[in-house]
């Protein structure tokens, strides 16, 4: 057996990028995508020095209890709610994410979803495929124009700002709410105005969610928040499942208290609330907002860079570029 440190990669990625690890590590890459139980994760992490994982791998104290050699968990995603950061830090394990490299791709997809649901493209395509198109009716399939409508963004980090910058081409005024207000220069670049959350909900014609999932943001959009929105409004979620109370959203859509929704993420995914599946005014997508070839390759490369750096290799040697808990490096 090799004396090199060991890296476990939890899913197939891109062989040429993972190959960058091979001069320095013994690499084990899973051949197929699968969902691991906690016990299976613990077994795979035991004896590993590093791991590259995705959002399906939920890793906390139990999963790393026997992983006495583990020094870093590199997450393939900008969000890291699948990682118990406190537990990893307590065990002296670094964690990293893939911040920044997916901002533009996710923003593009968010706009695609917003445009698609506004013009009812998902329902129209399904209707056509089912063989219902025998004539064109002038007043059929009427959607929503976006020009001049107000775009609201809840969560104005890098992805939220990338979404906002695209609004100028559609002539949409932008308002936003964030945990902290952006510097004035960033607001000018995004042509965005800061408002409190209640005003955001009341005034948005299209409400885009781009905030992380934390204990504080779980169900940030629930029944009370949906009740504040215009009945003509459209909700788009490219953030995380759990930011929205899916049952409350399904009820609001069914009762026409909200015009439409476009969702790339869900509570309990891959399960989707059955009431959302039944409604034509919802565009559904299987958590693929970052799924362009270039972006997924960049995400893999950044995860590899983080692992290499922690072990003293590559251009970032000694300092993983997107480490989430840098204090562990000093311990």
Does residue 234 carry a pLDDT above 90? yes
Active site residue 296: no
Does residue 79 carry a pLDDT above 70? yes
Task: For residues 230-250, give the mean pLDDT.
Answer: 97
**Domains 6-101+293-330 and 103-284 equal at CATH topology level:** yes
The one-character DSSP state at 83 is B
The pLDDT confidence band at residue 145, using thresholds 50, 70 and 90, is very high
Q: What is the DSSP string of 28-55?
A: EE-SS-----HHHHHHHHTT-SEEEE-T
Does residue 1 carry a pLDDT above 60? no
Catalytic residue among 199, 269, 313, 316: 269
Active site residue 240: yes
Does residue 253 carry a pLDDT above 80? yes
The one-character DSSP state at 183 is P
Q: How many CA atoms lie within 13 A of 235 on its CB side?
A: 35
Sketch the domain layout of the chain as residue ranges.
Answer: 6-101+293-330, 103-284
Residues whose CB is less than 8 angstroms from the CB of residue 242 and which lie 6 or more positions away in sequence, other chains included: 81, 213, 218, 219, 267
pLDDT in tens, 60-72: 999 999 999 999 9
Task: For residues 100-104, give the mean pLDDT.
Answer: 96
Q: Contact at 8 Å (CB) between 220 and 154?
A: yes
- Tell me how far apart the alpha carbons of residues 1 and 187 are, in angstroms, rounded to a whole number: 56
* pLDDT for position 2: 61
103-284 folds as Rossmann fold (3.40.50)
Residues in the chain: 331
* pLDDT for position 331: 67
Helix (H, G, I), strand (E, B) or coil at 145: coil
Task: For residues 175-193, give the mean pLDDT.
Answer: 97
Segment 301-306 long-range contacts (CB within 8 Å, at least 24 positions apart): 301/17, 301/101, 302/98, 302/101, 303/52, 303/74, 303/75, 303/76, 303/96, 303/98, 304/17, 304/18, 304/20, 304/21, 304/52, 304/74, 306/72, 306/74, 306/96
Does residue 315 carry a pLDDT above 90? no
3-state helix, strand and coil shares in percent for the chain, rounded to the nearest 5: 35, 15, 50
| Six token digits for residue 182 | 């952006």
Q: What is the mean pLDDT of the chain?
A: 96
Identify the burial level of 6 via C-beta atoms within 10 angstroms of its C-beta, where 0-12 means exposed, 13-18 middle and 19 or more buried: middle
Cα 170 → chain centroid: 24
- Tell me how far apart the alpha carbons of residues 44 and 30 are, in angstroms, rounded to a whole number: 10
Q: Nearest CA to 143 among 117, 163, 172? A: 117
Percent of the chain, pLDDT > 90? 96
- Tell me how far apart the alpha carbons of residues 266 and 232 are, in angstroms, rounded to a whole number: 22
The one-character DSSP state at 326 is G
Does residue 323 carry a pLDDT above 70? yes
Out of 1.10.3720.10, 3.40.50.2000, 3.40.50.720, 3.40.50.2030, which CATH number does the structure's domain 6-101+293-330 have? 3.40.50.720
Does residue 92 carry a pLDDT above 90? yes
Does residue 3 carry a pLDDT above 90? no
* pLDDT for position 330: 83
Catalytic residue among 149, 166, 177, 240: 240
Task: For residues 16-42, give the mean pLDDT.
Answer: 97
Q: Contact at 8 Å (CB) between 227 and 257?
A: yes
* pLDDT for position 104: 97
- Tell me how far apart the alpha carbons of residues 208 and 238 are, in angstroms, rounded to a whole number: 8
Catalytic residue among 218, 254, 287, 297: 287
* pLDDT for position 136: 85
């Amino acid at each position: 057996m090799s004396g090199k440190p060991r890296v476990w990669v939890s899913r197939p990625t891109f062989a040429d990028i993972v190959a960058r690890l091979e001069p320095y590590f013994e690499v084990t890459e899973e051949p197929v995508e699968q969902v691991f139980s906690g016990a299976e994760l613990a077994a795979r992490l035991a004896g590993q020095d590093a791991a590259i994982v995705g959002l399906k791998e939920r890793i906390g104290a139990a999963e790393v209890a026997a992983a006495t050699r583990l020094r870093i968990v590199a997450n393939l995603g900008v969000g890291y709610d699948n990682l118990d950061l406190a537990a990893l830090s307590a065990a002296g394990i670094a964690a990293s994410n893939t911040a920044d490299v997916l901002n533009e791709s996710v923003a593009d997809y968010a706009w695609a979803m917003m445009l698609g649901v506004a013009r009812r493209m998902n329902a129209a395509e399904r209707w056509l495929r089912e063989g219902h198109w025998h004539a064109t009716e002038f007043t059929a399939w009427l959607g929503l124009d976006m020009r001049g409508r107000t775009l609201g963004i809840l969560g104005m980090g890098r992805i939220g700002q990338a979404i906002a910058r695209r609004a100028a081409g559609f002539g949409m005024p932008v308002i936003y709410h964030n945990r902290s207000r952006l510097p004035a220069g960033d607001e000018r670049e995004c042509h965005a105005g800061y408002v409190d959350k209640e005003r955001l909900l009341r005034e948005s014609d299209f409400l885009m969610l781009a905030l992380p999932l934390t204990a504080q943001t779980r169900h940030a959009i629930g029944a009370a928040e949906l009740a504040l929105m215009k009945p003509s409004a459209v909700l788009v979620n490219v953030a995380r499942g759990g930011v929205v109370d899916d049952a409350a959203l399904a009820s609001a859509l069914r009762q026409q208290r909200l015009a439409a929704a476009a969702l790339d993420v869900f509570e309990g995914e891959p399960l989707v609330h059955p009431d959302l599946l039944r409604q034509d005014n919802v565009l559904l997508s299987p958590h693929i907002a970052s799924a362009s070839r270039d972006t997924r390759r960049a995400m893999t490369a950044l995860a590899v860079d983080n692992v290499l750096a922690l072990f003293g290799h590559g251009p970032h040697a000694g300092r993983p570029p997107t480490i989430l808990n840098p204090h562990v490096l000093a311990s």
